[in-house]
Amino acid sequence: MVTILGFSHMSWLIVFCATLHVAFPKEKGMNGTSVENFDCVVRSYTFKNPTMNCTWNAGKNVPPDTQYFMYLAYHNRARDNECPHYISNTLGRHIGCYFPDVIASPYRVNITVNGSSIESPIQSYVDDFRIYDKEQFRPPQNITVDYRSPLYYKVQWEPPPNSRKVGSECFEFQIKDERRNTAMTVQEKTYNFPKPAKYILRIRAVGHITCPISKKMNGEWSEPIEFGTDPDRFPTLPLVLVALGTIVIIVLLILICNRNHIWEKLTDPVPGPKVMWQHEKNEEKWVAPVPIAGESVTVVEEMTADSPKV
Ligand SMILES: *[C@@H]1O[C@H](CO)[C@@H](O)[C@H](O)[C@H]1NC(C)=O
Ligand SMILES: *[C@@H]1O[C@H](CO)[C@@H](O)[C@H](O)[C@H]1NC(C)=O
Ligand SMILES: *[C@@H]1O[C@H](CO)[C@@H](O)[C@H](O)[C@H]1NC(C)=O
Ligand SMILES: *[C@@H]1O[C@H](CO)[C@@H](O)[C@H](O)[C@H]1NC(C)=O
Ligand SMILES: *[C@@H]1O[C@H](CO)[C@@H](O)[C@H](O)[C@H]1NC(C)=O
């Protein structure tokens, strides 16, 4: 009895396992074997088709011998395009793909990344997107600064090339002022910055919301554009002139004073009774005719030597 029960249980188990096997065919692969963090970046150029770089990480549960393969399917085209240039890691496993030439139609493309391993099946990764939605804009082009206006600097630029070949009306531009740490968004391809001031700007393009164009805020910033000059905080030239003038006047005054012996008069000590006498003595000498300039100096020396005793 027990054996029969056991046997029927066993057969049920076998049937159950068989059904499981059908419901989850081996080809589907284990969880954790499909690629992760899959993403692509599209770039446009003026004279050639856009390029696309895709990258991914291997699944966490993959056997060491796992290899991945990527396929791109355009709308209404029977053929899958296998990746033309794989990017491999040091172990030779494909971890990315470079498409030197993609077509950015308004339709979505299908992406498949499948894989193979001798040890176990690998789950496929599927995705679909519009090529242009993955676009990263390059910096605005031909940025120029016009200094001619007395009131402002006129900065102009052109939008970057883009995969759908839309016009500049499909762009907005962010301008970052790196000196003042401010940012703004403008619709036009030009902006006037008031004079006089110094500016260091960077500009990037962002797709306009109404257009078939990437709206990601990941456009590349232009190289810094530096122009203008700061208004003089200190008017240095007038200051120098004033300083020079003052020095010249002081020197002249000293010369005049020396010549007329005004110094001695000005620096005469306040007369006390005893000083008065000294003073008179000095004056006697002083008044006496002095033939050589050297002697008058002696007098001055005498006086200054006397003064501290007072
Ligand atoms: C595999 O992942 C799916 C979706 O996350 C989940 O529903 C399923 O239970 C997982 N299977 C196993 C065997 O872990
Ligand atoms: C795309 O990958 C190729 C090949 O590795 C590389 O030369 C190129 O610079 C990459 N482009 C971008 C935009 O990452
Ligand atoms: C993408 O795959 C889906 C589902 O398999 C299919 O319906 C659709 O037509 C495919 N699109 C392209 C562009 O191949
Ligand atoms: C991956 O998919 C492509 C096209 O769908 C197919 O030709 C190829 O054999 C598949 N590779 C593996 C390893 O499953
Ligand atoms: C940028 O300037 C170059 C040289 O003046 C010119 O050939 C090119 O057409 C300009 N590009 C744009 C987008 O205006």
pLDDT score recorded for residue 230: 87
Statement: residue 24 has pLDDT above 70: no
Statement: residue 302 has pLDDT above 50: no
Domain presence at residue 197: yes
If pLDDT is split at 50, 70 and 90, which confidence band does 235 have? low
Looking at the structure, tell me whether residues 155 and 127 fall in a common domain: no
Per-residue pLDDT reduced to its tens digit, 178-193: 999 999 999 999 999 9
Domain presence at residue 166: yes
CA of 69 to the centre of ligand 2 (A): 18
CA of 31 to the centre of ligand 1 (A): 6
Looking at the structure, tell me whether residues 130 and 152 fall in a common domain: no
Phi, psi dihedral angles at 295 (to 5 degrees): -70, -35
Within 163-300, strands assigned E span 171-177, 182-186, 190-194, 198-207, 225-228
Q: Is the minimum distance from the CB of 53 to ligand 2 under 6 angstroms?
A: yes
pLDDT score recorded for residue 9: 54
- Domain containing 84 equals 27-134
Residue nearest to atom 6 of ligand 5 (CA): 142
Residue nearest to atom 10 of ligand 4 (CA): 114
**Residue that is last in its domain, among 227, 251, 266:** 227
Domain presence at residue 275: no
Looking at the structure, tell me whether residues 128 and 154 fall in a common domain: no
pLDDT score recorded for residue 85: 98
Of the two residues 22 and 214, the one the predictor is more confident about is 214
Pocket test for ligand 2, best of 98, 99, 163, 216 (most atoms within 8 A of CB): 98
CA of 284 to the centre of ligand 1 (A): 122
Statement: residue 296 has pLDDT above 50: no
Looking at the structure, tell me whether residues 79 and 104 fall in a common domain: yes
Domain presence at residue 92: yes
Looking at the structure, tell me whether residues 162 and 109 fall in a common domain: no
Domain presence at residue 54: yes
Residues shown for the chain: 310
Looking at the structure, tell me whether residues 124 and 55 fall in a common domain: yes
Of the two residues 121 and 14, the one the predictor is more confident about is 121
CA distance 203 to 267: 70
Statement: residue 25 has pLDDT above 80: no
Mean pLDDT calculated for residue range 15-30 = 52
What does pLDDT average to over the chain? 81
Looking at the structure, tell me whether residues 129 and 39 fall in a common domain: yes
**Residue that is last in its domain, among 102, 134, 166:** 134
Lowest mean pLDDT among 41-55, 89-103, 127-141, 220-234: 220-234
Looking at the structure, tell me whether residues 148 and 125 fall in a common domain: no
Domain presence at residue 285: no
If pLDDT is split at 50, 70 and 90, which confidence band does 98 have? very high
User: What tokens appear for 263 in the block?
Assistant: 């110094």
Statement: residue 220 has pLDDT above 90: yes
Looking at the structure, tell me whether residues 97 and 155 fall in a common domain: no
Q: Is the minimum distance from the CB of 73 to ligand 3 under 6 angstroms?
A: yes
Statement: residue 140 has pLDDT above 70: yes
Angle at the Cα of 175 (from 170 to 178), degrees rounded to 5?
A: 160
Domain presence at residue 294: no
If pLDDT is split at 50, 70 and 90, which confidence band does 264 have? low
Residues 6+ apart with CB under 8 A from 301: none
- Tell me the ligand closest to 135's alpha carbon: 2
Looking at the structure, tell me whether residues 120 and 45 fall in a common domain: yes
Of the two residues 280 and 165, the one the predictor is more confident about is 165
Pocket test for ligand 4, best of 69, 83, 110, 118 (most atoms within 8 A of CB): 69
Q: Is the minimum distance from the CB of 75 to ligand 3 under 6 angstroms?
A: yes
The number of the ligand 2 atom at minimal distance from the alpha carbon of 43 is 13
CA of 156 to the centre of ligand 5 (A): 12
Statement: residue 163 has pLDDT above 70: yes
- Tell me the ligand closest to 141's alpha carbon: 5
Lowest mean pLDDT among 128-132, 230-234, 289-293: 289-293
Mean pLDDT calculated for residue range 226-233 = 87
User: For residue 36, which of 54, 56, 66 has the smallest C-alpha distance?
Assistant: 56
* 8 Å CB contact between 198 and 247: no
User: For residue 71, which of 42, 91, 51, 97 has the smallest C-alpha distance?
Assistant: 97
Residue nearest to atom 4 of ligand 2 (CA): 98
Pocket of ligand 5 (CB under 6 A): 141-142, 158
CA of 37 to the centre of ligand 2 (A): 18
Looking at the structure, tell me whether residues 162 and 223 fall in a common domain: yes
In angstroms, the Cα distances linking 131 to 113, 135, 207 are 17, 7, 14
Mean pLDDT calculated for residue range 278-304 = 46
Q: What is the domain count for the chain?
A: 2
* Helix or strand run (H / E) with residue 66: none
Looking at the structure, tell me whether residues 48 and 72 fall in a common domain: yes
**Residue that is last in its domain, among 227, 251, 278:** 227
Q: Is the minimum distance from the CB of 95 to ligand 2 under 6 angstroms?
A: no
If pLDDT is split at 50, 70 and 90, which confidence band does 269 have? low
pLDDT score recorded for residue 256: 72
Which domain CATH number covers 161?
2.60.40.10
Domain presence at residue 151: yes
CA of 30 to the centre of ligand 1 (A): 9
